[in-house]
Amino acid sequence: PITEDEDGTLQGQYFWEAFPSSSGPTDRTTYMFTYVDAAPHRPSLEKMLDDYWELMPQYQGIDLDSIQVQRVLFGFFPTFRDSPLAPAFDRVLQVGDASGIQSPLSFGGFGAMIRHLGRLEDGIVGALKADALDRRALKGLNPYLPNLSGAWLFQRAMSVPLGAKPPKDFINKLLSNNFGIMKNYGDPVLKPFLQDVIQFWPLS
């Protein structure tokens, strides 16, 4: 759902997902997320957690009193438009979330870094052997990535800009149409998007 405050100003679009849990056959992991900037008018982190508990029964079709909570995990991932982040110091290389190499769609810098381990390993070994450890040289280990820029387009398409007043079902309709088209093209187009591996051919 798109959230709004008392005066009807749109604040953001919530997305929900649920998966089977490894803790038991009847257990599930349910999470809610959103894409927003840091503008003061956005809901606070505390407000979003309150919204999670308020909206979850509607999404899952179950009363809160019927739920046995095993763990609550809550947080945020900062993403940077000018990413990956360039090293600020000699002999210091950011990794994981600190590198800004994470996708603005699926978050998680460490998870995103796993895809680059081979490249990073070879690059770090080469930098150490060549003693190329100043920040200018280290910047080459996390270069500009066109696929991250592509992911930013999707992230912006699923965000509600401040002051905008789109129909409340706009983003849901957009996603429904896009997923329908990708499904028609089959796994070669759909799977890269679901795996957050932005490629030129599926987008073309």
Give the pLDDT confidence of 139-170 residue by residue, as tens digits: 988 887 777 777 777 888 888 887 777 787 88
In sequence order, the β-bridge partners of residue 32 are: 16
Residue 196: what residue type? D
pLDDT surpassing 80 at residue 171: yes
- Other residues' Cβ atoms within 10 Å of the Cβ of residue 142: 23
To the nearest whole number, what is the mean pLDDT of the chain? 83
pTM of the model: 0.72
- Residue 112: which pLDDT band, with cuts at 50, 70 and 90? low
Which residues lie closer than 8 Å to 130 by C-beta, 6 or more apart?
Answer: none
Q: How far apart are alpha carbons 193 and 151 in whole angstroms?
A: 10
CA distances from 164 to 14, 110, 167 (A): 16, 33, 10
Amino acid in the structure at residue 123: G
- Per-domain residue ranges for the chain? 1-76
- pLDDT for 10 equals 62
Task: Decide if 43 contacts 3 (C-beta within 8 A).
Answer: yes
